[in-house]
Amino acid sequence: MQRLDLVVGPNGAGKSTFIPFTLAPLLPGSPVVNADEIARQRWPGSRQGAPTTPRKSPPPRARS
Protein backbone atom coordinates (compact mmCIF):
# COMPACT_ATOMS: atom_id res chain seq x y z
CA MET A 1 0.00 0.00 0.00
CA GLN A 2 1.35 3.44 -0.91
CA ARG A 3 1.37 6.28 1.54
CA LEU A 4 1.23 10.06 1.23
CA ASP A 5 2.12 12.24 4.21
CA LEU A 6 1.36 15.96 4.11
CA VAL A 7 2.84 18.56 6.41
CA VAL A 8 0.66 21.65 6.30
CA GLY A 9 0.39 24.83 8.33
CA PRO A 10 0.67 28.60 8.19
CA ASN A 11 3.87 30.45 7.32
CA GLY A 12 6.39 30.30 10.13
CA ALA A 13 4.84 27.22 11.76
CA GLY A 14 8.03 25.15 11.40
CA LYS A 15 7.04 22.80 8.56
CA SER A 16 10.43 23.04 6.83
CA THR A 17 12.20 22.34 10.12
CA PHE A 18 9.91 19.46 11.09
CA ILE A 19 10.53 17.44 7.92
CA PRO A 20 14.33 16.92 8.07
CA PHE A 21 14.58 16.66 11.84
CA THR A 22 11.48 14.62 12.67
CA LEU A 23 9.69 13.10 9.69
CA ALA A 24 12.62 12.17 7.41
CA PRO A 25 14.42 10.02 10.03
CA LEU A 26 11.20 8.03 10.51
CA LEU A 27 10.80 7.46 6.76
CA PRO A 28 14.33 7.16 5.30
CA GLY A 29 14.51 7.25 1.53
CA SER A 30 11.08 8.82 1.14
CA PRO A 31 10.88 11.62 -1.42
CA VAL A 32 10.11 15.12 -0.18
CA VAL A 33 8.46 17.86 -2.23
CA ASN A 34 9.00 21.33 -0.78
CA ALA A 35 7.06 24.11 -2.52
CA ASP A 36 9.45 26.77 -1.18
CA GLU A 37 12.43 24.99 -2.78
CA ILE A 38 10.59 24.68 -6.09
CA ALA A 39 9.76 28.42 -6.01
CA ARG A 40 13.41 29.35 -5.26
CA GLN A 41 14.60 27.32 -8.25
CA ARG A 42 11.89 28.58 -10.58
CA TRP A 43 12.07 32.27 -9.61
CA PRO A 44 15.58 32.95 -8.27
CA GLY A 45 15.90 36.33 -6.59
CA SER A 46 12.16 36.67 -6.21
CA ARG A 47 10.40 37.15 -2.90
CA GLN A 48 8.25 34.18 -3.90
CA GLY A 49 9.47 31.30 -1.79
CA ALA A 50 11.57 33.58 0.41
CA PRO A 51 11.86 32.34 3.97
CA THR A 52 9.61 34.07 6.43
CA THR A 53 10.06 34.60 10.11
CA PRO A 54 7.18 34.14 12.49
CA ARG A 55 5.66 37.44 13.50
CA LYS A 56 4.98 38.16 17.10
CA SER A 57 1.50 39.31 17.95
CA PRO A 58 1.29 42.90 19.17
CA PRO A 59 0.80 43.30 22.91
CA PRO A 60 -2.84 43.40 23.98
CA ARG A 61 -4.37 46.85 24.34
CA ALA A 62 -5.19 48.08 27.79
CA ARG A 63 -8.92 48.22 28.37
CA SER A 64 -10.46 51.47 29.54
pLDDT (tens digit per residue) in 13-48: 888 888 888 888 888 888 888 888 888 888 888 765
pTM, two decimals, is 0.52
What's the CA gap between 25 and 32, in Å, rounded? 12
Q: Where are the domains positioned within the chain?
A: 13-45
Task: Give the span between the Cα atoms of 27 and 24, in whole angstroms.
Answer: 5
Summarised one tens digit per residue, pLDDT across range 44-64 is 887 655 555 666 666 777 776
